[in-house]
Structure 1
């Protein structure tokens, strides 16, 4: 697995000089790491910070994203990658799990980037991740990341964005400490400065650090029954500042939300395949 620190250092250095370019395409590199084994101590730490039960043989549906994160970092820190690594904001996450992933299985992980798309606040890139066991595709995801910058005009579909969904029944309220971003960074390796401290978040336009998008969706899914074969879709609509208090809401159809008052932070669905 690629080392995280060199990738982050290279990406941080390149971010100082990198600006999104119209018509740019990400490198067509496909990074593949075979024989990835589960570190049970690291898995338990992840389960605790995200609210999953510990000691289970089945992996949380979000955990392969963490396993492949060093490869995603290396990809986004490549000198040919067209967006600056620092300040990227996770905007959506979609995962398809074809069967239960077990802790004793070795996995082949692959990561690659897809085309850039315009966004009303900048430019988005999609990063795809695949996990195979015994040569068979068992898990795949797509994450979109936003590089914020001025845009000459809003994308054509900006005026026709769907209205936010109605609020779901609230079932829990969580008080989030100022250290949630640092604690999740320690188990996931995602040390984007917008998540760590007010001083490191302010240069990117945030007065307070933000919870990781992948922490918020994992924390929501820890409250949801997830089938062995499942598809999950989540949208990160507004950042969650730290510290803070958020409300979790969900219903029997698999829909879930994370909100503060009427402000939606995360919306998602859990659908059996």
Structure 2
């Protein structure tokens, strides 16, 4: 195992450029650019002593709809980990070129709230490369600890489309779960991807402008999946327990600008939520919050 330690968040600008290179014909096949195949790298990326920038948190809350609080939103530690995610995915030992990946699912477990002034450590690794219809799935596993105590963890599941593939070896966390109907409409501006990209560091071209998104096969730029999840959790913030697991599945991209509808309902002890199109009943996101003891 190789452990790489960072004393600050990696700059995502150069990493985004590095992520694009493998998608360029000829250049993508060159040594030092071409990604290896066959397994996940035995690499762990770490940041220690991470402190929250209050101004950055304020901007994040504004973009995602969270109220001010003395604890972090459940999705916010993803911000501290994103640069490590990019460093891992752009490493040529990672089995897939980053620009071809689709963020399919996300699972976050908050074991306890993290105070805005607490210092924490972040660790990131890849795991569980497995078959999926028309391609493969791979997980990026993130953990956050405070003084050795695991307080937050995340599984980011990515889909790589390629020939071959096969049936998934285990059931999807939200198999059979459908997004509830809702009445709350969110009108999303065409600049949403740029606004969230500025605060998250995720400036993937598919989120920024119609022209850059069309270059990757989308009719317009699309909202970030992690924004949609964050905005959904902000809508039910006052109903979230202190400790919980939230599973989310991103089923269809949200084209910008546009209007979507948010809904939620209680199913036994769980809280199921979802985001659908306002004009067409297509499901963009479905999620479920399960309380933890």
**TM-score normalised per structure 1:** 0.91
Secondary structure (helix, strand or coil) at the match of 1:222 reads: helix
Matches for 1:124-163 after TM superposition, within 5 Å: 124-149=137-162, 151-152=163-164, 155-156=166-167
Aligned length: 268
Q: Which residue of 1 aligns with 2:81?
A: 68
CA contact (8 A) 1:14 1:79 kept: no
Q: What CA distance in whole angstroms lies between the structure 2 residues aligned with 1:91 and 1:51?
A: 23
Q: Deviations over 1:201-228 (max 9, x none)?
A: 1122111111000000111111112211
CA contact (8 A) 2:205 2:213 kept: yes
> Does 2:279 correspond to 1:259?
no
**Alpha-carbon RMSD:** 2.1
Unaligned residue ranges in structure 2 (runs of 5+): 1-8
Unaligned residue ranges in structure 1 (runs of 5+): none
Secondary structure (helix, strand or coil) at the match of 2:122 reads: strand
Q: What CA distance in whole angstroms lies between the structure 1 residues aligned with 2:85 and 2:283?
A: 27
> Does 2:248 correspond to 1:234?
yes
Matches for 1:1-273 after TM superposition, within 5 Å: 1-16=9-24, 17=28, 24-54=38-68, 56-149=69-162, 151-152=163-164, 155-156=166-167, 165-224=177-236, 225-252=239-266, 253-260=270-277, 261-273=280-292
Secondary structure (helix, strand or coil) at the match of 2:99 reads: coil
CA contact (8 A) 1:87 1:192 kept: no
Q: What CA distance in whole angstroms lies between the structure 1 residues aligned with 2:91 and 2:177?
A: 38
Q: What CA distance in whole angstroms lies between the structure 2 residues aligned with 1:228 and 1:166?
A: 25
Deviation of 1:33 after TM superposition, in Å, equals 0.5
Q: What CA distance in whole angstroms lies between the structure 1 residues aligned with 2:70 and 2:217?
A: 41
Q: Deviations over 1:33-84 (max 9, x none)?
A: 0000000010011111111102x11100000011110011101011211211
Distance verdict in 2 for CA 1:156–1:169, change over 3 Å: closer
Q: Deviations over 1:161-181 (max 9, x none)?
A: 897545524130111111111
CA contact (8 A) 1:25 1:115 kept: no
Q: Deviations over 1:97-134 (max 9, x none)?
A: 11110111111000111132233243322101100101
CA contact (8 A) 2:44 2:124 kept: yes
